[in-house]
Amino acid sequence: MKNLRAILMPIAILLGILLPQAHVLSPLMPFLIGTMMFLTFVTKIPPQTHGYTFKIEIRALIVSLLLVAVIAGIVKLFDLPREVLLGGAIIALCPPANAAPAMAKMLGGSASLALKIFLSGNLIACFSIPLVFGYLTGTDAGLSEIAMKIFNTIQPIISIPLAFALGLRAFYPELADRAAKYQKYTMFVWTFSVFVILAKASYDIREMGFTELWNSGKLPMMAGISLVLCVLLFSLGWFVERNRRPIESSQSMGQKNTTLVIWIATLYAGPVVALAPTCYVVWQNLVLSWMSARIKPKEPTQTGIAKSE
């Protein structure tokens, strides 16, 4: 799986850039996100045997809020376009990715801990993104109105798959166990999502005019802020838990559910802002490929999610 991911992801990135026509598949994004959410939520979670889940995710939230404040200060100090603030903010607030548990397991970490971090991180994002991003984007509308709109957009993508998965787990556990066996295939859904995301970005850049975007400085700034945040978040996550859970913490802060926030950014801030998390897709996968090559997996100290995983 590890070697297959290293092959498929660069292909998905390249094809997405070269085939902007595939942007017609972008309406599938909510369904792809929901599918990944369901396959992750339906996995049987072991009892809590450690106290790191809440600690790691609250720390990640605090770091996110501090980064938003720092980006806002830099944008104001250097009189940068507002899109830089919005692009950086949506990346900082983005919850952990669906593929984080599988990636943590491949790197030798605890998949169950990464799964719990994913669950809590996405539930927190239901409220943090509407409030903070809603405040930053709300101009004509009031905070409560725009926050409620964003909340109503996000929560069905999370709550419906969660309710379906919990219901299946409670009333039809044998079917839930069968569905959980497909959790490892979220990586393929994620890879297809990356292809669609980059095809949409490639199409949008062509429509807006690559030369104009480049000369205005918006495209380089979007790529630059996403690169800085990517390296910073992965590094911070590893550093703060370097003696205990560096892999899971790094995944918690660095590996982002970009499919969700690209969709949100496109709906509420426009295609230019969506370029920031789209660029993050490329940087994130380069970092993950580097980690896959450099980090030699060790036997995890925590029990994995399930034998079938």
Model pLDDT, residue 20: 93
pTM above 0.75, yes or no: yes
Identify whether the C-beta of residue 89 lies closer than 8 Å to the C-beta of residue 136.
Answer: yes
* Cα–Cα–Cα angle for 238, 240, 245, rounded to 5 degrees: 60
Question: From start to end of 54-98, where are the E strands?
Answer: none
What is the 8-class DSSP label of residue 242?
T
Instruction: Report residue 21 as tokens.
Output: 């026509």
The pLDDT value recorded for residue 103 is 79
- What's the pLDDT score for residue 300? 42
- The b-or-e profile of 62-71 (16+ CB within 10 A means b, else e) is ebbeebbeeb
Name residues of the chain where pLDDT drops below 70: 1-6, 45-52, 138-142, 296-309
- Taking the C-alpha atoms of residue 32 and residue 36, their distance in angstroms, rounded to an integer, is 6
Say what the pLDDT of residue 249 is.
86
- Residue type at 220? P
pLDDT the model gives residue 185:
78
